[in-house]
Amino acid sequence: MAHPFSQLAPSLDDIAQQGLYRSRRIIESPQGINLEIDGKNIVNFCSNDYLGLANHPDVLNAFKTGADRYGVGSGSAHLICGHSAAHHALEEELAAFTGRDRALLFSTGYMANIGVISALLGRGDAVFEDRLNHASLLDGGLLSGARFKRYAHADAADLSANLEKAPGNKLVVTDGVFSMDGDFAPLNELATAAKKQGAWLMVDDAHGLGVIGEYGGGIVEHYGLSQDDVPVLMGTLGKGFGTFGAFVAGSEVLIETLIQKARTYVYTTALPAAVAEATRASLKIVIAESWRRDKLKKLSERFRLGAEQLGLQVMASSSAIQPILIGDSQRAVDISNALLDAGFLVSAIRPPTVPQGSARLRVTFSALHEEQHVDRLLDALAKIIAGCK
Ligand SMILES: *Cc1c(COP(=O)(O)O)cnc(C)c1O
């Protein structure tokens, strides 16, 4: 008999061979556009802290005041004794912000997605997912036990054809802004298709909330979609909001159902109340400071235009996520390493996070970047790509 787990070491070698090995970089500074790595200062182009709030003084202060009032640990799950006044106030503010009846906090976006889908669906039901959906949405669908169907990326016609044949409760699930491509889901069409077949539409707007829409209301604000159009709206707080955690917003019945049945809500410790206080401060900035969204848009467009002029393969993105398609995984890693040597942190995204043969550099912008940062990144890219040919 072979030794148990004897395949682990060879499998690691295999991953390395394919240029797919993953490792961490140790950051020695707060989050921001400048990071310290190995004692060296680099310019950060891979964070999801799009609005530059992760280290904002107001957010930091609210966190400290929150810790003074509530301590660090929340002591238990929300349903035992962990649901503080800070959590409750944040939920009410998020409901108002998204124009939904209620909102419910989860400890992470990953847990929210798994919890929601498996609370709403079971055997005999059906879930429909865009094939480029985030891993947590796919995992939630698989875990639910419902019939699982992927439809072609952003393709409402393909979705409709699949919806017609399905039994039971039907849930259509999509990213709002696709995390590795930066494009928007065609939500109007998806909402129409879902309604026509009596399905609910769930949108994960991790990369749109705070960032897209005049008031930062995300992809549903952009398309003007109500709770009736998008009955399940999920957002994360660790990206545009710069803090940590996630929430689901929707009807009274949806939220009460989740409180009873979402296992990742019921069986986990509430996130620290101080984090909720920090998020309340960050929500105020998100709403008030639209200059952050405007600037982000300008910077992203400047980069996109410059990259096109360099002959780089940009993708169909109008968000702060501007990927450069490379194809080969090892080449993407080599370019990312060369950029780091030149003082820029840009992550190489490889399969299985993206489809085979579509490795890319995922360049993201922050409202704290300036035009000169964009131009310097473009210069470095031009030199590296020329050197690689
Ligand atoms: C980041 C992300 C999540 C997970 O959120 P966490 O709070 O980091 O667990 C879920 N969905 C999408 C689309 C994401 O980009």
Residue of 49, 110, 205 best suited for mutating to test ligand 1, as the one with most atoms within 8 Å of CB: 110
Sequence length of the chain is 389
Q: Where are the domains of the chain?
A: 25-51+290-388, 57-288
Sign of the C-alpha dihedral computed for residues 213, 218, 302 and 356 taken in this order: negative
Residue 251: per-residue pLDDT: 98
Say if CB 92 and CB 303 are below 8 A apart: no
When pLDDT is cut at 50, 70 and 90, the band that residue 20 belongs to is confident
Q: Which residue numbers belong to the known binding site?
A: 22, 109-110, 134, 179, 207, 236, 353
Residue 19: per-residue pLDDT: 84
d(CA 64, CA 57): 10
Residues in a beta bridge with 174:
203
When pLDDT is cut at 50, 70 and 90, the band that residue 1 belongs to is low
Q: How far, in Å, from the CA of 384 to the mean position of ligand 1?
A: 31
Percent of the chain's residues with pLDDT above 90: 94
Q: How far, in Å, from the CA of 236 to the mean position of ligand 1?
A: 6
- pLDDT of 104 strictly over 60: yes
Give catalytic status of residue 56 as yes or no: no
The model's pLDDT over 44-55, given as tens digits with 9 standing for 90+, comes to 999 999 999 999
Say if CB 252 and CB 113 are below 8 A apart: no
- Residue where the block lists tokens 């009807």: 251
Pocket of ligand 1 (CB under 6 A): 108-110, 113, 134, 136, 175, 179, 204, 206-207, 236, 238, 246
Sign of the C-alpha dihedral computed for residues 86, 235, 208 and 199 taken in this order: negative
Q: Tell me the average pLDDT across 101-107.
A: 98
Q: Tell me the average pLDDT across 278-289.
A: 98
- pLDDT of 182 strictly over 60: yes
Structure token pair of residue 29: 């500074």
Q: Tell me the average pLDDT across 173-184.
A: 96
When pLDDT is cut at 50, 70 and 90, the band that residue 166 belongs to is confident
Residue 318: per-residue pLDDT: 87
Residues in a beta bridge with 349:
360
- pLDDT of 358 strictly over 80: yes
The model's pLDDT over 133-149, given as tens digits with 9 standing for 90+, comes to 999 999 999 999 999 99
d(CA 202, CA 130): 11
- pLDDT of 389 strictly over 80: no
Give catalytic status of residue 207 as yes or no: yes
d(CA 248, CA 230): 12
Amino acid at 296: L
Residue 364's closest CA among 54, 44, 36, 135? 44
When pLDDT is cut at 50, 70 and 90, the band that residue 241 belongs to is very high
When pLDDT is cut at 50, 70 and 90, the band that residue 385 belongs to is confident
Q: Tell me the average pLDDT across 104-124.
A: 98
Residue 388: per-residue pLDDT: 65
User: What is residue 185's DSSP assignment?
Assistant: P
d(CA 134, CA 153): 12
Q: Tell me the average pLDDT across 281-290.
A: 98
Sign of the C-alpha dihedral computed for residues 36, 38, 40 and 42 taken in this order: negative
Distance separating the N- and C-terminal Cα atoms of the chain: 49
Angle between helices 187-196 and 156-164 (to 10 degrees): 10
Which of these is catalytic: 87, 149, 207, 373?
207
Q: What is the pTM for the complete model shown?
A: 0.96
Structure token pair of residue 201: 């539409």
Residue 165: per-residue pLDDT: 83
Domain 25-51+290-388: top CATH class: alpha beta
The model's pLDDT over 26-39, given as tens digits with 9 standing for 90+, comes to 999 999 999 999 89
d(CA 51, CA 283): 11
CA distances, 338 to each of 42, 162, 363, 373 (Å):
12, 45, 15, 17
Q: Which CATH code is given to the segment(s) 57-288?
A: 3.40.640.10
Q: What is the DSSP string of 312-334?
A: --B-S--SSEEEEEEESHHHHHH
When pLDDT is cut at 50, 70 and 90, the band that residue 3 belongs to is confident
Residue 230's closest CA among 87, 94, 101, 88? 101
Residue 386: per-residue pLDDT: 79
d(CA 106, CA 99): 19
The model's pLDDT over 286-327, given as tens digits with 9 standing for 90+, comes to 999 999 999 999 999 999 999 999 999 999 898 999 999 999
- pLDDT of 219 strictly over 60: yes
Give catalytic status of residue 179 as yes or no: yes
Q: Tell me the average pLDDT across 204-228.
A: 97
Average pLDDT, the chain: 96
